[in-house]
A and B are shown apart, each in its own frame.
Chain A
Amino acid sequence: MVEIQHTIKDELGLHARPAAHLVKKASEFQSAVQIGTPAKMVDAKRIMGVMGLSLKTGDTFTMTFDGPDEELAAEGLKAFLAENL
Chain B
Amino acid sequence: MTTHQGKGICPGIAFGTVYLLQKADTAIQQTPGGTPDQEWTRFLAAKAKADGQLKQLFEKTAAELGEEQAMIIDVQRLMLEDGDFNDAVQQMIQTEQVSAPYAVSQAGKQFSDFFAALDDPYMRARATDVSDLSQRLTDILLGRRHSHAFTGPTVVVAEDLTPSETLQMDRAHIAAFVIRLGSSNSHTAILAQTMGIPCVIQTDIPLDPAIDGREIIVDGTGGLCYLEPDQIVREKMAQWRQEARLRQESLDGLRGLPTATKSGQTVRLFANIGGTQDIQSVLEHDAEGVGLFRSEFSYLGRSDYPTEAELFAVYRRVAEAMGGRQVIIRTLDMGADKKVDYFDLDQEENPALGLRGIRICIDRPEIFRTQLRAIYRASAFGNIAIMFPMITSLWEVIHCKEQAAAIRRELTAEGLPIRDVALGIMIETPAAVMVADALAKEVDFFSVGTNDLTQYTLAIDRQNHKLDRFYDPHHPAVLAMLQIVADSARDNGIWAGICGELAADPAVTATLLNMGFDELSVAPASVLEMRKRIRDMD
Mark A residues whose CB is within 8 Å of B.
Answer: 11-13, 15-17, 19-21, 23-24, 43, 45-49, 51-52, 54, 56
Contact = CB atoms under 8 A, between A and B. Distances in A.
B82 A56 contact: no
Interface in B76-109: 78-79, 82-85
Given A11-B309, A52-B123, 12 more contacts: A20-B74, A20-B75, A23-B78, A46-B82, A46-B84, A48-B85, A49-B82, A51-B123, A52-B115, A54-B118, A54-B123, A56-B120
B111 A47 contact: no
B44 interface: no
Interface in B55-75: 68, 71-72, 74-75
B38 to A, nearest CB: 26
A20 B115 CA distance: 16
Nearest to A49: B84
A52 B114 contact: yes
A11 to B, nearest CB: 7
B122 A48 contact: no
Interface of B: 68, 71-72, 74-75, 78-79, 82-85, 111, 114-115, 118-120, 122-123, 126, 129-130, 309
A23 B84 CA distance: 13
8 contacts: A16-B71, A16-B75, A46-B82, A46-B84, A47-B75, A48-B82, A52-B118, A56-B120
A20 B74 CA distance: 7
Contacts of B68: 17
Contacts of A52: 114-115, 118, 123
Given A23-B78, A46-B84, A48-B84, A16 B126 contact: yes
Contacts of A43: 83-84
A51 B115 contact: yes
Contacts of A23: 78
Which of B68, B75, B115, B118 has the largest number of chain A CB atoms within 10 A? B75
Contact of B71 (A13, A20, A51, A56): A20
Contact of A17 (B72, B82, B85, B115): B72
3 pairs of A and B residues whose beta carbons are closest in the complex: A47-B78, A17-B71, A54-B120
A49 B115 CA distance: 10
A46 B75 CA distance: 11
Contacts of B71: 16-17, 20-21
Contacts, number: 55
Q: Is the interface of B mostly helix, strand, loop or mixed?
A: helix
A20 B122 contact: no
Which of A21, A51, A56 has the largest number of chain B CB atoms within 10 A? A51
Which of A13, A43, A47 has the largest number of chain B CB atoms within 10 A? A47
A20 B80 CA distance: 12
A51 B126 contact: yes
B501 to A, nearest CB: 38
Nearest to A20: B75
B114 A46 contact: no
Contacts of B85: 48
B75 A17 contact: yes
Contacts of A11: 309
A48 B79 contact: yes
Contacts of B120: 13, 54, 56
Contacts of A45: 83
A46 B83 contact: yes
B63 to A, nearest CB: 18
Given A20-B74, A20-B78, A13 B84 contact: no
A54 B74 contact: no
Contacts of B122: 12-13, 15
A59 B309 CA distance: 18
B118 A16 contact: no
A28 B45 CA distance: 25
B129 A16 contact: yes
Contacts of A24: 78
A20 B75 CA distance: 6
Nearest to B88: A48
A19 B83 contact: no
B269 to A, nearest CB: 37
Contact of B82 (A13, A21, A47, A54): A47
B119 A54 contact: yes
Which of A11, A12, A16 has the largest number of chain B CB atoms within 10 A? A16
A16 B115 CA distance: 12
A21 B71 CA distance: 9
A51 B309 CA distance: 18
Nearest to B114: A52
